[in-house]
Structure 1
Amino acid sequence: MHNILKGFIEHKLEAIILNGEMGTGKTYVSIATAAIYHKYNPKPIFVICPPHLVYKWRREILSTIQNAKVTVINGSDAINKLLKLREQVLNKTLDNTIPQFIVIGRVRMRMGFHWKPAYTIRKIHSITTLNNSEKVSHTDEYIACSHCGDFFIDSDKNFVDVNRFTDEFSNDQQYCSKCSNPLWTMHHRANTGNDNKELQLIKFLQKLPGIGKVTAQKMVQQFGVEQLTSIIDDNIYEFVNLYDPEKQGEFYFTDKHAKRIERSLGRLEFALRFISYQPSEFIKRYFPRKFFGLAIADEAHEYKNSGSAQGQAMAVLCSASDQVLPLTGTLMGGYASDLFHLLWRIMPSFMRSQGFSANQSNSLGTAEMDFMRRYGVLIDVIKTTNGPAHKTAKGNQTRTSVKKAPGFSPMGIAKHILPFTVFMKLNDFGNELPAYTENTHTVSLPADMQKYYKDLEDKLIGIMREAIRKKDNSLIGLVMTFLLRWTDTAFREEVLYHPKTKKPLVNVRHHFDENRPMPKEQDCIDLCLAQKQQNRKVIIYTTYTGKHDTMTRLKGFLENKGLNVAVLRSNVKTDEREDWIADKVEQNIDVLITNPELVKTGLDLFAFPTLYFMQTGTNTYTLEQASRRSWRLGQKNDVEVYFSCYDSTSQTKCLSLMSNKIKVSQSTSGVMPETGLDVFDEEADNSILFEMAKDLVKAHRNI
């Protein structure tokens, strides 16, 4: 906190990144920092976070700062709340003596808006001479720009009348060809629903756990539509603390029921109005410049993509703030380009001062490549082929291409990371945390299956090499993904088809039936049974959950051994998962099976001190986040993480490359990590699948 405040207040830095390991309490540190920061800069504080954490942020702000006021911009009345806030600013009635927090979900902040054509009409009066020499005057109305007054013209330079504009041009946003101002405007969509307020309220109440139609109707009769609507719209947490009018001094809900409702309220939205504008665009257009003092961006690494709408909306909100405090546990995923767009969005002035500016087309592509050349790793691939023979000479053709590779130079860390970053590691807390260990289980395939895999690999690599020779790269991803997956899904027959021609490439037979576990599955089962004996719950991560589902099969094997198993799938909404898992823990499950993508952020899985990766996937962000879900402040048990793979297969190469990328990622956090994947550590210079493909092609040159 001291270093963050010193950087903001003394050194006037645009942004300071709080790079804290998962579980270090970044949320509480940022809230406490914001409370002190408010004494020096009494402007409102803006918080951008994942949608399922909006109300968790609200709860933690109020529990940390007693006199704070929190406005949640997460419902369909988002613009209405922003309008109220804007009115308070313009009327100078905003109370700056207490910290004012505005919390918005990152999906909500970039949601679109309703628009309609906006133009003016210009009339042209003319006189037409008829065949009988009679002159007739008439007036024509044409579309014109309401800013400069110039006529709107089509591609043939013709004026466009109202009827033609409505028929041909009104479905797309049009712009003036002279001044470039829009010929459209945002507008508010009125509530056209037929339901009255009472019916809407009853429908909402029935979405809450333990409240049926009869109870909802009774509550409306007891408290009234206006009172309940006001509570839910303005401060939904007052709802769980309602007093029962029939039982003086007693709460309407029991403690257990209130906790269930509170979790549900964190994921539901309710309002009698519709959201019609993009909140970030609304703030940009209608709020005073630099209206907010501090912007806190939770899970900031998720705004790194160059063209993402969320990243662009985050940049708009950061530009409306004096200073920015991004929070992240994984600052980069191995490539220097991961950092470029994030740094540009949180501190554009500094990046411009370093020579990274948009070009004349307002694109950052050139600047990004320059950043990669300075601080990242770029590989220039030069291919020389024999050219056609001429009468007196024979020429060669040379082609040069550039590829990104994992890596970030010490100079980049020294110039762009260290001066703007505060690091927090769980090890800094000493004895406050239990032990954390990572282990790799390398499992052997049966001899017949190993031989079949080798033959299959040889055949597919040969097909892929031939396709690459013909300039067809479409098989690279298909073949490498299949070789990674097949050893985990060898319990069914399948045919692998060419992605373009749809012709069959290989017919693959199965090696295990529905009643016989594969070696890695057996390893997982044995571990779960051993953990059960120690009263330790296990979470199993598997990335194959769709067409090649392995969850149902694994669940059956575990249940046959007497274990209580739950499967978390993607049909459980993001903001419902915390509640869903809590219910399953109350039901005393032994094992939770899920995809690591579903729980990588915002969830504290204290109940599961053992984590088993059936596969790791190829995303370092997901792997690092998911592996630390239960090792955080508050954990009482030692945490054990297991990574499994089949020996002498593509899976071992994948883990090797993931180990290298994690080392690059964590080097920007001030550490050289020692992880369970270190046994696979070796040099890597391209994306996971393409690097694997390159190595396999090299190994099979003699096919």
Structure 2
Amino acid sequence: MYFEIDDIKDMHANIVSASYNSGVCYASIFGYIQQTKNMLKLLKKKKCTFNVHGRYFTSYPDDYNIYTTKVPDSDFNHTIIFKKDKVYVDSSGVENYNGYIYREISKENLSLYPGYDNDAYRDIDSFVFPEDLLNSIFNKIYNNSSLPILKEWTEYITYQLFKKRYISTLNFEMEQENNDDYTLIGYVINVPIPSLIEIISSGLKNHDIYIDKNLSLTPSDSMKAIEGLDGYLNTFSDVLAEKVQNSFIPRFIPNQNNYSQELLDFIDYVSYKRKIKLYPAQKDVIQAVSNCLDDKNAAFIIGSCGTGKTVMGTGVVMVNNKNKKKMTNIIMCPAHLVNKWKKEIELSAPLSEAYIISNLKDLLAIVPKIKQKKYKKNIWLILSKESAKFGYEERPSAIWSYAKKGYICPECGKPLFNYKYEGRGRNRVRKIEFFNESSFLKHTFENNVCMNKIKKFNNIKGAYEEVECNAKLWEPCIKDSLFDWVKLGKQGWVEKKLINQLKNKLDNKNMLSRNERELLKAINDTLDNEYPIQKAPKKYPIAKYIRKYLKNYIDYFIADEMHQLKGADSAQGEAFGDLAFAANKVIGLTGTLLNGYASGLFYILYRTFPKLMKKEDFLYTDDDKFTTEYGVIKKTSKYKWENGIQKDKFGVTKVKALPGVSPLVFTKFLLENAAFISQEDISSGLPAYTEIPVPIEMDDDLRSAYNLLETEVQGNIKGGFNLKIMGQLIQTLSIYPDMPYNVSNVIHPDTGEVIVEPPSLDGSVLRNKEARLLELVKRKKEAGEKVLVYYHWTNKTDLDTKLPALLESEGIKTAVLKSSVKAEIREEWIKKQLNENIDVLICNPTLIETGLDLLDFTTIIYYQMGYNLYTMRQASRRSWRLSQTKDVEVYFLYYKKTIQEQALSLMATKLQASMAIEGKFSEEGLNALSNNEDIFSQIASSVAEGIKDTVDINVFKKISVNSTIEPKKEYQKNTSYNNMNKISYSCFIDPKKINKKKIINKIDGLELKILNNPILLFKAG
């Protein structure tokens, strides 16, 4: 059979199964080796069109399992492709399972399989299904859904699936019968999960299936008393903990395994040099991570603020090295922590020298010591993540051809172009789009290298062959090269001789997009000499130099605040990847690994565990595939409707990643490679930590003005504006209650039309939130405390001047930390302010969210809150540290019945969901995991629909921590299910101390059986 995939022609298929509903489900294909390679690239990377003997079908990236073998003594490959099983959400939001079963069976047994005569539903009521088909259907459903099913139900479920037409047969077209005794048969399962649940539920209710015919499900009083997940975990925590403990053997079991001699030596050294004693949990983590690095190349320490990640990271290196040799290690951290790390190394690491590397010159000065074999001291290179990324700027190197009216390759001289596809299915046409004046504004994948084919002589074959040119189209930007090109700020690069040509083209367009308007403005500014031409110094990136020239010399790489390095194309993320590649072992330190999205973890995992990710069949560019498998995505498609009937889809299907991470990420990627630790695990003498929401009523005039603004914003959101305008609308509504004057109008970015004009009130009036802040600060000052005030909208409000003036007028000394204070000197700057006896520090929380210990500020007030969970979690606990002796209170000020209350409510819920992923379970947190909308979208939806979320004080009570100044027992039983959280750390549960009797005496044998098999919680009848 004739077979094509896009422009790959002249392939041959001897077996194909295809239908217009399912597309090509199975194909056995023969083609030249290079054809096969090109086909595999297409199937993995992009949407493709199949041509099977004149019939057209569409495939999507990663639709197929693919197996390829070379045909002996030939230039051909034999490839078999067949569709992968998948769980997907359809356009109506319903989860579906789509699975495929393929069988090669003898023709004499063909009649045993439904559909052998192309009618799968004939005589289905009396059909006896073959055992191997039943086993396949059971395994498909069991492995691809979360439904609890028993194997003895399979015949009933299979019958129902056929009867309700959720299983259909596949038709196979075979070019010729190679085997007269055997043939192929296949089935497609396509069932909505709710329908599958209904089938099982009906079977149980109608007694068609049973959990156990002899089992009476009458719960005891203790089972009846359990309410919700919290109650279940509280009651059965020890039994469940023991089961997990027996299932997963930790790297190190406290109170059972012994510390290594290297760790004991490190503990003694730190005690002597720093006059501090490491906490038992810190020692346990150091030993567990060191044990992990004995057979793995990377490990993570995920610890909350103040758990001592710096000393633990240092300890892991010293312990794991086992005094074998002198080391060269690298630490990459935020700029304001480089001095802290240098001090840490000098105090905690024996026989060590620490160097802060600010530029390549600093590094080159140390290289001789690094390469000197007889040098006796350990060398620690400390780089800020900002300086590690710095490198030379690149500018385009393509050549403009006036004859061809476009850019050509500087090496092969051929025109540069991109492919653009138009139409769908059999009408899909590929067009060539040649590079024009604006094709090199930004460095992209499409304009990175030359895409032309050239003839090159192959010395081995002794003949010319066609290969890709791949000439680089960008080169280092040096002073001399700036005579030809100009950089228009963030708009990008334009060749000087073409700048007027591009300007005329934009001037002559009837309608300009926002980007085009900004580009035209930048061009005009440059032509008027108002926009300076930027000249970048010629540098070489430090991280890239280390990767290229020092790979065999780097022993350990510590990535501090690793969650900030998650970017795919960010310079900091690339620097992280370079240093991880150069080092023998990688240790990642972070307080908040997950940002709620699966994509936030993909590149961190790929840069630290590349072999594991490749084993899981992920390419470096497969972040979308990772999100699909381990996160949540939302696909939006538009369909035509006629007389209430859904017709063909039109337009492009929009795919959006939503918050949500599968627990499989933890078990598959983190369980063996990460140790979790929190402050509660470390100290029995922590002061209390309390989060307090403070609702505030708006002034009468403010309430009226806000309601008018909200109504106007609500109407515009319902009008269906794009996300850029939506962002402006939500931002305006957020800041208005705090500054109901001089608020900028919301302008349409494309048309310049004024969409919303906020009403302006008297700015001199003392508003209720300001009065509440003043009252709270006064009370804290009288109690001898210092206060840290956070505000979010730094460039949109005047709070950085208004709040200090208000506080100063009442004799409260106030300082404002701004971004102009360099990160590396912020700690010293704050100390200086404290020495001058300030009472209040005001800043944006992003400026101090990591690394800084602000013990003096025992009261933290969120005057405004953003939507970033990372920032909220880190900044809230800046002063709640191991060395803190006073209780810490965090206040959240918000106006009632405004968008501020909605934002705080949603942030608290999302925070619990984030904590649930890290093993800190609560019923609300696990419920929140099922809500996959991002906070911004939820707020926009709430505003549009007029929903008013209220803040639940109980949520904040669960996040708060009681004081543990009084000594407590090392292991507590049955007080809460918090001991379950220990499982996900380096395992802080002593199996010997589990009191089995305490639980088993409370439940009978039936209930223990139910615990062993949760499916028995179903009730028949």
Cα distance in structure 1, aligned partners of 2:624 and 2:477: 39
Give secondary structure in 2 for the equivalent of 1:58: helix
| Code of the aligned partner of 2:305 | M
**Quick one: which of 380, 385, 407 aligns to 2:660?**
407
1:21 Cα deviation after fit: 0.3
1:19 Cα deviation after fit: 0.3
Q: Which moved more, 1:517-526 or 1:75-84?
A: 75-84
Q: Name the structure 2 match of 1:60.
A: 344
Cα distance in structure 1, aligned partners of 2:324 and 2:380: 13
Cα distance in structure 1, aligned partners of 2:932 and 2:628: 15
Q: 1:546 to 1:184 in 2, by over 3 A?
A: closer
Alignment of 1:243-282 (within 5 A): 276-282=539-545
Q: Which moved more, 1:575-584 or 1:687-696?
A: 687-696
Cα distance in structure 1, aligned partners of 2:330 and 2:658: 35
Q: Does 1:4 align with 2:289?
A: yes
| Code of the aligned partner of 2:343 | R
Give secondary structure in 2 for the equivalent of 1:557: helix
Q: Name the structure 2 match of 1:381.
A: 636
Q: 1:183 to 1:537 in 2, by over 3 A?
A: closer
Q: Name the structure 2 match of 1:649.
A: 898
1:494 Cα deviation after fit: 4.7
Q: Name the structure 1 match of 2:683.
A: 430
Q: Name the structure 1 match of 2:979.
A: none
Contact 1:498/1:504, CA 8 A, preserved across alignment: yes
Residue deviations 1:135-170, cap 9 Å, x none?
A: xxxxxxxxxxxxxxx99332369xxxxxxxxxxx9x
| Code of the aligned partner of 2:341 | W
Q: Name the structure 2 match of 1:72.
A: 356
Q: Does 1:508 align with 2:791?
A: no
1:341 Cα deviation after fit: 1.2
Q: 1:179 to 1:395 in 2, by over 3 A?
A: closer
Cα distance in structure 1, aligned partners of 2:389 and 2:836: 38
RMSD of aligned residue pairs (Cα, Å): 3.3
1:51 Cα deviation after fit: 1.8
| Code of the aligned partner of 1:53 | L
Q: Does 1:48 align with 2:329?
A: no
**Quick one: which of 454, 471, 478 aligns to 2:707?**
454
* Higher Cα Rg, which structure: 2
**Quick one: which of 619, 639, 642 aligns to 2:888?**
639
**Quick one: which of 558, 562, 565 aligns to 1:300?**
562
**Quick one: which of 911, 922, 939 aligns to 1:692?**
939
Give secondary structure in 2 for the equivalent of 1:585: helix
| Code of the aligned partner of 1:380 | K
Q: 1:543 to 1:114 in 2, by over 3 A?
A: closer
User: Which runs of 5 or more residues in structure 1 are unaligned?
Assistant: 119-149, 158-168, 190-273, 359-363
Q: Name the structure 1 match of 2:391.
A: 112
Q: Name the structure 2 match of 1:15.
A: 298
Give secondary structure in 2 for the equivalent of 1:609: strand
Q: 1:653 to 1:683 in 2, by over 3 A?
A: farther
Q: Name the structure 1 match of 2:378.
A: 99
Residue deviations 1:495-522, cap 9 Å, x none?
A: 33323322222332233432x3221121
Q: 1:681 to 1:489 in 2, by over 3 A?
A: farther
Cα distance in structure 1, aligned partners of 2:623 and 2:676: 25
Q: 1:398 to 1:38 in 2, by over 3 A?
A: same
Contact 2:786/2:856, CA 8 A, preserved across alignment: yes
Q: Name the structure 2 match of 1:370.
A: 625
Alignment of 1:32-431 (within 5 A): 32-39=315-322, 42=325, 43-75=327-359, 77-81=361-365, 83-85=367-369, 88-89=370-371, 92-95=372-375, 97-113=376-392, 152-155=411-414, 180=470, 276-287=539-550, 289-358=551-620, 364=621, 367-386=622-641, 395=647, 397=649, 400-431=653-684
1:100 Cα deviation after fit: 2.2
Contact 2:360/2:540, CA 8 A, preserved across alignment: no
1:180 Cα deviation after fit: 4.2
1:14 Cα deviation after fit: 2.4
Contact 2:696/2:893, CA 8 A, preserved across alignment: yes
Contact 1:387/1:397, CA 8 A, preserved across alignment: no
1:313 Cα deviation after fit: 1.3
1:116 Cα deviation after fit: 11
Contact 2:637/2:649, CA 8 A, preserved across alignment: no
Q: Does 1:440 align with 2:693?
A: yes
Percent identity at matched positions? 31
Cα distance in structure 2, aligned partners of 1:340 and 1:184: 28
1:674 Cα deviation after fit: 10
Give secondary structure in 2 for the equivalent of 1:508: coil
1:643 Cα deviation after fit: 1.2
Cα distance in structure 2, aligned partners of 1:187 and 1:696: 48
Q: Name the structure 1 match of 2:808.
A: 559
Alignment of 1:572-591 (within 5 A): 572-591=821-840
| Code of the aligned partner of 1:694 | S
Contact 2:913/2:928, CA 8 A, preserved across alignment: no
Cα distance in structure 1, aligned partners of 2:410 and 2:741: 68
| Code of the aligned partner of 1:67 | L
Contact 1:19/1:669, CA 8 A, preserved across alignment: no
Q: 1:55 to 1:155 in 2, by over 3 A?
A: same
Higher strand share: 2
| Code of the aligned partner of 1:582 | K
Contact 2:567/2:603, CA 8 A, preserved across alignment: yes
Contact 1:436/1:640, CA 8 A, preserved across alignment: yes
| Code of the aligned partner of 2:541 | Q
| Code of the aligned partner of 1:631 | W
Q: Name the structure 2 match of 1:163.
A: none
Q: Name the structure 1 match of 2:849.
A: 600
| Code of the aligned partner of 2:373 | T
Contact 1:659/1:681, CA 8 A, preserved across alignment: no
Residue deviations 1:347-375, cap 9 Å, x none?
A: 111111111124xxxxx1xx222222222
Contact 1:645/1:652, CA 8 A, preserved across alignment: yes
Residue deviations 1:476-497, cap 9 Å, x none?
A: 1111111111111114465333
Q: 1:548 to 1:500 in 2, by over 3 A?
A: farther
Q: 1:330 to 1:174 in 2, by over 3 A?
A: closer
Give secondary structure in 2 for the equivalent of 1:511: coil
Residue deviations 1:293-326, cap 9 Å, x none?
A: 2110000000112221110111011011112100
Q: 1:569 to 1:117 in 2, by over 3 A?
A: closer
Q: 1:411 to 1:572 in 2, by over 3 A?
A: same
Cα distance in structure 1, aligned partners of 2:857 and 2:719: 47
| Code of the aligned partner of 2:288 | N
Residue deviations 1:401-421, cap 9 Å, x none?
A: 332222222222111122211
Contact 1:298/1:327, CA 8 A, preserved across alignment: yes
Contact 2:560/2:589, CA 8 A, preserved across alignment: yes
Give secondary structure in 1 for the equivalent of 2:577: helix
Cα distance in structure 2, aligned partners of 1:651 and 1:668: 26
Residue deviations 1:236-284, cap 9 Å, x none?
A: xxxxxxxxxxxxxxxxxxxxxxxxxxxxxxxxxxxxxx98311112122
Q: Which moved more, 1:552-561 or 1:369-378?
A: 369-378
Q: Name the structure 1 match of 2:309.
A: 26
Give secondary structure in 2 for the equivalent of 1:401: strand
Contact 2:412/2:469, CA 8 A, preserved across alignment: no
**Quick one: which of 769, 776, 791 aligns to 1:520?**
769
Q: Which moved more, 1:397-406 or 1:414-423?
A: 397-406
When the two structures are superposed, what TM-score results if normalisation uses the length of structure 1?
Answer: 0.72
| Code of the aligned partner of 1:551 | D
Q: 1:84 to 1:117 in 2, by over 3 A?
A: farther
Q: Name the structure 2 match of 1:484.
A: 734
Q: Which moved more, 1:627-636 or 1:663-672?
A: 663-672
Cα distance in structure 1, aligned partners of 2:544 and 2:846: 30
When the two structures are superposed, what TM-score results if normalisation uses the length of structure 2?
Answer: 0.50
Q: 1:441 to 1:334 in 2, by over 3 A?
A: same
Q: Name the structure 1 match of 2:795.
A: 546
